[in-house]
Amino acid sequence: MKKIITLLLIFTLAILMAFPAFATNGTIGKYTPVLDGEKDEAYDQSLKLNLFTDQGIPVGEFFHSEGSAPDKNNIDANAWFLYDDQFVYVFVDVADPDLFDIGKATFDSRPNNYQSDSVELWFVFGDAFSYIKFSAVAFGHGMFGDQDGSAVAADVLKPLGFDTAVKTGTAGYAVEFKIPTAQYGLKAGDTIYFTLQLNNMDKDGNLAVSGKQLQNMGGADNASALTLGAPIIIAVPEPEIIEEEEVPAEVEGPAAPTVTPPSPATGDITVLFGIISLISAGGLLTFKKKR
């Protein structure tokens, strides 16, 4: 019996080690970034979360695939967070070497946008389990939302304050998200819950979905707990003061003296001074020698 219990314990431990349930928890800083698809300096002073490692997922693992899913190990994503009194901001930098544009017409015609290279954010604000999904496509065709299973399109999301900015590169893309939170009355010290999901598609329509979704968890236990922290202060460099060279003001003075050729007398005086100088120098030399 003891042997069976020991074996069961080892088995359970092995399962736990193979599928770690941890998620990275941390504090996010208060700062209002510029929504432009560029990572503001303040993000680097806040929490960073990796799609796989910080969510307890084996690297390259995906939980949903369609067709022959793209290479497991060729995608990755990191997310950074900020918040202010009105919004939560997330900057997601995605490595996706087979970027494929499904086109705006296809995006608009689909009931859900996960069949595209895109980022999905999942949030729980406050204590009651009520999730918000908010996503954006690598090529900036639009955004998509979902609250507790009810799909919300971009034309509804935008007036509510949801917004995104996308920058597309050759081997990846970056999305900056803005999620309105004023209705939850969040303040420093409060905790929100988050998971990150990445949809990776190739040109043949094969799809791999990696990360975590909150609606399948039955709670926020497996999400990352993000505590709202202190303001981030970014030092603004002092503007360089360039001292202008002082230009002397033009003073009206007497007219420039007229140059006249030296008179013979003046010439004589010059020669005389020259002779005196030579004699003096000679005298000095003599004086020095005597010493």
The piece of 77-85, 112-120, 203-211, 283-291 that touches Ca ion (CB under 5 A) is 112-120
* 41 touching Ca ion, by CB under 5 A: no
* 200 touching Ca ion, by CB under 5 A: yes
In the complex, minimum distance from the CB of residue 72 to Ca ion, in angstroms, rounded to a whole number: 12
* 40 touching Ca ion, by CB under 5 A: yes
Q: For residues 97 and 185, which CB has a smaller minimum distance to Ca ion in the complex?
A: 97
* 163 touching Ca ion, by CB under 5 A: no
Measured distance CA(62)–CA(207) in Å, rounded: 10
Measured distance CA(281)–CA(283) in Å, rounded: 5
Measured distance CA(198)–CA(191) in Å, rounded: 23
* 7 touching Ca ion, by CB under 5 A: no
Q: Extract the tokens encoding 27.
A: 């504090």
Q: For residues 117 and 163, which CB has a smaller minimum distance to Ca ion in the complex?
A: 117
The piece of 98-106, 152-160, 186-194, 263-271 that touches Ca ion (CB under 5 A) is 98-106
- Which phi and psi (to 5°) does residue 29 adopt? -85, 155
Please identify which residue in 93, 96, 120, 163 interacts with Ca ion, judged by CB under 5 A. Answer: 96
* 54 touching Ca ion, by CB under 5 A: no
b (16+ CB within 10 A) / e for 78-100: bbbbbbbeebbbbbbbbbbebbb
Residues ≥6 apart with Cβ < 8 Å to 183: none
Residues found near Ca ion in the complex (CB under 5 A): 33-34, 36, 38, 40, 96, 98, 117, 200
